[in-house]
Amino acid sequence: MEETFVPFEGIKNDLRGRLMCYKQDWTGGFRAGLRILAPTTYIFFASAIPVISFGEQLERNTDGVLTAVQTLASTSVCGIIHSILGGQPLLILGVAEPTVIMYTFMFNFAKERPDLGRNLFLAWSGWVCVWTALLLFLMSILGACSIINRFTRIAGELFGLLIAMLFMQQAIKGLVDEFRIPQRENPKSIEFIPSWRFANGMFALVLSFGLLFTALRSRKARSWRYGSGWIRSLLADYGVPLMVLVWTGVSYIPAGNVPHGIPRRLFSPNPWSPGAYENWTVVKDMIHVPIFYIIGAFIPATMIAVLYYFDHSVASQLSQQKEFNLRKPSSYHYDLLLLGFLTLMCGLIGIPPSNGVIPQSPMHTKSLATLKHQLLRNRLVSTARKSIGKNASLGQLYGNMQEAYHQMQTPLVYQDPSAGVPGLKELKDSTIQAATSMGSIDAPVDETIFDVEKEIDDLLPVEVKEQRLSNLLQSTMVGACVAAMPFLKKIPTSVLWGYFAFMAIESLPGNQFWERILLLFTAPSRRFKVLEDYHAAFVETVPFKTIATFTIFQTVYLLICFGLTWVPIAGVMFPMMIMLLIPVRQYFLPRFFKGAHLQELDAAAYEEQPALPYNLAAQSEFGGGASGIGEGEILDDVITRSRGEFRHTSSPKITSSTPTPNKDLIMHQSPSLSFNSRMGEVTTEYSPRSGARGPYSPKSREMKQSTLGKSPLNPESKQQERH
């Protein structure tokens, strides 16, 4: 994406790119079959639960003018519209905490003005939305998003960690409050005598830690050793919602012996209670707002517009990180334009607007990467088995798999066809080499030589099932929550706090900032363990002292931002602090760090995200009926263990030759590396699978190569750029 500020240019480019794949966005989604429900359910819970909690918060803060019904309605309506008309369907929309804080501030302002008051609050905030929408239109038309590439990794990851901290803070605060008397309730009720309050608090600890622990465990079910494949698969896909159900069930066990209000449960009016709909006709009242306040609404509107511009773009950016190897183009400008329309609509019907949310958006992409991996895997396994059944040679086998793989690729005429086809090349080379040493390449293979499931796990690159269906479905399900309110109200609030902590923890893996903080606390004698795992390139190329200085600077900056959120009104402007990082990164940091080091530590800096080329052949994807047999923990890696750079598993067995490692390597080299470094180069001999996932594998070399832009999948990709 060029930094062009020609009006409408950005929107035009976005539209051109996304229209090209619009049809495939739908067909691809439907072809995935029932499996699409796994990411859908996962994101639905991640989306709905915080929105309900924010609704509850908003209800307390606005004397009941806005409730969870409105926040759910906004999330659902905006989500459905975005999933159909939006540019980037990976982006998840929802009412977010900053919106809640802004609306609280606006309510406090309005209720003290006699000519506004509680009654005209929604009408006035309607005007705020009108101004906000205008500003968003302006920004998107003038190409404000083309500076998105200046939001480097440092800014995005700091923001991600800040959101995680806010979620965790909410979880802790919620738990502490379980020991106190809630404001809303009658403090004379039986459940608020000290003994029941203490009991309620302890029960809340049990429920929330129970949910947190079991949810985290269930996400890793695929690599469990026990239980049959489909149970593990089911648990990994649907474990989190299931655990919410289970712990809600547990909360009813002592129901006979404890008062009605223990444990405390979600509070929200039913959508059919009187007055729940009075906000929908707010547009009628908007003309009653005094002109002075209509103009004054421009002030909060600028703040919200900046906030949304930042939030929406960064959420979109984080869901399209380079490591995901996305194949469809981004759509920052057009999505900002659409957000303007959505804000306008929400303002006119008197509900708080939604915008792109973190961590749900990157969570969405990750869960779709898992889905795509499963689909590709099942297809290739069946192809390989069929070939072996026909006594094919190793050469034919790879031919067939190559073909099947290409058929699964998203076709798109938009891309440069000269880029060549990505594929299974390296694996072919190395395994053929092995086969040659054993006999002839033309001899029939059997499963003793070619262990189908293992080979294919190693073979597959990270790819994402990019489509619109999961987003549409999850938004619809959020809408259904409004009707299902009587059931939702059975969930204990403590389960909610556990879920908040779960979301905070789930958003950490893959965040290099977080990995670097952990590295600071890693004992020097244990740093070699980081090298044994999948790790980002900087671990090997940047001196430890530089990493430490950079990380400490970033941590201090993070803590300042976090502190700012506690300042009553100015707190809403914490995104400004993060936007300030752009000049800091561009002009301040280069004075203290070497350019090459900064480049490594802040990997996305000023670098175009090369789109991977598409295959033009016809496509067809297997789905639905595919069984869940033997899905390895490789999927868990994709979801939970991914460290910053995503795994490029396409060539685990290549014979790599790299020059002598940098002299100022930061850590105790792992023994095998140190051994070899004397010999000038790392030469890993082919040995059957021994290096596939074990420690001391040549993975680290690959990782480095790939982050330096030479994806092993497609070395030419650097030359192509998105427009």
Contacts with its own copies, residue ranges (CB under 8 A): 193-196, 198-199, 202-203, 205-206, 209, 224-229, 232, 254, 257-258, 448-449, 451, 454, 518, 521-523, 525-526, 529-530, 629-630, 671-672, 674-678, 685, 687-691, 693-696
State the angle between helix axes of 37-61 and 360-389 in degrees (0 to 180), rounded to the nearest 10: 170
DSSP H helices, 623-717, are 634-636, 671-677, 699-707
Shortest reach from residue 449's CB to its own copies, in Å: 7
Nearest CA-CA partner of 219 in 366, 85, 49:
366
Q: Are 722 and 611 in contact (CB under 8 A)?
A: yes
Which is closer to its own copies, CB of 155 or CB of 445? 445
| Helices (H), ranges, 142-192 | 153-177
The nearest distance, CB 259 to its own copies, in angstroms, is 8
Q: Are 77 and 348 in contact (CB under 8 A)?
A: no
Q: Based on C-alpha coordinates, what's the Rg of the chain?
A: 27
Tell me whether residue 15 or residue 206 sits nearer to its own copies (CB atom).
206
Structure tokens, 43:
């994101």
CB of 254 vs its own copies, minimal distance in Å: 7
In sequence order, the 6+-apart residues with CB closer than 8 A to the CB of 167 are: 50, 359, 500, 501, 503, 504, 507
Based on CB atoms, which residue is closest to its own copies, 438 or 559? 438
Q: Which is nearer to its own copies, 197 or 710 (CB)?
A: 197
Collect all residues with Cβ–Cβ distance below 8 Å to 293 and sequence separation of at least 6: 113, 115, 116, 124, 127
Amino acid sitting at position 460: L
Nearer of residues 225 and 284 to its own copies, judged by Cβ = 225
Q: How far is the CB of 439 from its own copies (least distance, A)?
A: 10
CB of 102 to its own copies, least distance (A): 37
Residue ranges with strand state E in 341-422? 355-356
Residue 182 CB, shortest distance to its own copies, in Å, is 18
CA–CA separation, 440 and 457 (whole Å): 25
Q: How far is the CB of 544 from its own copies (least distance, A)?
A: 15
C-alpha to C-alpha distance for 430 and 166, rounded to whole angstroms: 48
**Smallest gap, in angstroms, from Cβ of residue 450 to its own copies?**
10
Shortest distance (Å) from residue 697 CB to its own copies: 9
User: How many CB atoms are closer than 10 A to CB 658?
Assistant: 14
Residue 723 to residue 146: CA distance in whole angstroms: 11
**Number of other residues whose CB lies within 10 A of the CB of residue 145:** 28
Q: Which is nearer to its own copies, 316 or 649 (CB)?
A: 649
Burial 315-330, CB ≥16 within 10 A → b, else e = bbbbbbbbbbbbbbbb
Given the complex with its own copies, which of 508 and 584 has the nearer CB atom? 508
Instruction: Retrieve residue 520's tokens.
Output: 């600071």
Per-residue burial over 538-566, b = 16 or more CB atoms within 10 Å of its CB, e = otherwise: bbbbbbbebbeebbebbbebbeebbebbe
| Closer residue to its own copies in complex, CB, 253/287 | 253
| Residue 537 neighbours by CB distance under 10 Å | 22
Residue with smaller CB distance to its own copies, 420 or 630: 630
232 versus 425: smaller Cβ distance to its own copies:
232
The least CB distance from residue 230 to its own copies, in Å, is 10
User: Based on CB atoms, which residue is closest to its own copies, 241 or 509?
Assistant: 509
Q: How far is the CB of 698 from its own copies (least distance, A)?
A: 11
